Amino acid sequence: MGVMRVSTGVSRRAFVTGAGVVGAAVVLPRQGGALAGGFAMAPSEASGAPSPVKLGLASYTFRNFSRAQLIGYMTQLNVDQLNPKDAKDHLPEDPAAEAQAVAAYKAAGFHLHAAGAIYFGQGTEQDIRAKFEYLKRANIPVMVAGDPTPQSLPLVEKFAREYDIRVAIHNHGPEDKLWPSPLDVLKDIRGMDARIGCCIDVGHTVRAGTDVVEAVYAVGPRLFNMHMKDLTDFHDKGSQVAVGDGRMPVREIFAALTKIHYPGYVDLEYEVHPDDPMPGVAKSYAFMRGVLAGMGYAEQPT
């Protein structure tokens, strides 16, 4: 499993000024093709090539806020890539309510690239099919699956083929008796349809004792979604902080994603301060954008 890396490519002190500029920018409205405050959304000679790493948001971050509030916060953050969950009214499973949510996101200019985590509480064929119908109605190509069992995987695989929807099994750290690490997921899906893969939650991965950078390389083409967070203690789930304030090797993760040509999204899942997440969320995007800028990349417009 290797020794856990700590990012050294961009020092915290080195981009205090830059992160401050971007941090100010991310809480301002969109202004054409660039973020206010000077952070380029499109490539330029000064900012470098378009970033191969695409940033999104897991709506669970704003689980205590309504869909309208979520849309407002995302607009302030200049984030238009969303991984919604059936929390509050973000993406209800009821077909009529779901259609209203999809229409609201479309009107806001958002793209729904994944949904979840989604749980198969009953594990029956009817229950599993209903989850695929849920994604089909919203035209979402990736299901982040929270708790399929090895016994239910043949049914999940069957519907993944039928609906042509990729299933990203989410690891949940040492408390997860089935799949604490993405490497545990891989053991059960090798040989299955190529639509069955992983969602690497970086926080749960490091708590499972797995080198998250090595996990990215190991999962490779079966990596369909990423949940990004940061911890100050890789053994303590409660030590989560804004991305950049902990020990997560963010630059090395982004470099690994670039090397494997990861086509999906890196979704911030900020699980602390649920009643006031915006300061930590804004700081996290400022840091991640600062890392990408330090790697010579510019965030791509969508």
Mean pLDDT of 201-224: 98
CATH 3.20.20.150, domain 46-298, yes or no: yes
Q: What gap in Å lies between CA 246 and CA 208, rounded to an integer?
A: 17
Residues 141-198 pLDDT 10s:
999 999 888 889 999 999 999 999 999 999 999 999 899 999 999 999 999 999 999 9
Closest CA relative to residue 170, chosen from 129, 229, 125, 127:
229
Cβ partners under 8 Å of residue 217, min gap 6? 256, 259, 260
Residues 73-88 pLDDT 10s:
999 999 999 999 999 9
Q: What is the DSSP letter of 225?
A: E
Closest CA relative to residue 134, chosen from 92, 83, 185, 71:
92
Cβ partners under 8 Å of residue 30, min gap 6? 75, 78
**Cβ proximity of 141 and 165 under 8 Å:** yes
Q: What gap in Å lies between CA 161 and CA 128, rounded to an integer?
A: 13
Residues 102-140 pLDDT 10s:
999 999 999 999 999 999 877 799 999 999 999 999 999
- Give the residue extent of every domain in the chain: 46-298
First to last CA, the chain: 36
* C-alpha dist (Å) from residue 258 to 91, 136, 264: 30, 29, 11
Please provide the size of the chain in residues: 302
- Beta strand pairing status for 240-241 and 230-231? antiparallel
Q: Which two tokens stand for residue 191?
A: 């040989």
Average pLDDT, the chain: 87
Q: What pLDDT is recorded for position 21?
A: 35
- Check pLDDT > 80 for residue 261: yes
Q: What pLDDT is recorded for position 302?
A: 57
The DSSP bridge partners found for residue 170 are 199
Mean pLDDT of 23-50: 41
Q: What gap in Å lies between CA 9 and CA 248, rounded to an integer?
A: 12
Phi, psi of 168 (to 5 degrees): -105, 105
Share of the chain above pLDDT 90, in %: 77
Cβ count within 10 A of residue 164: 11
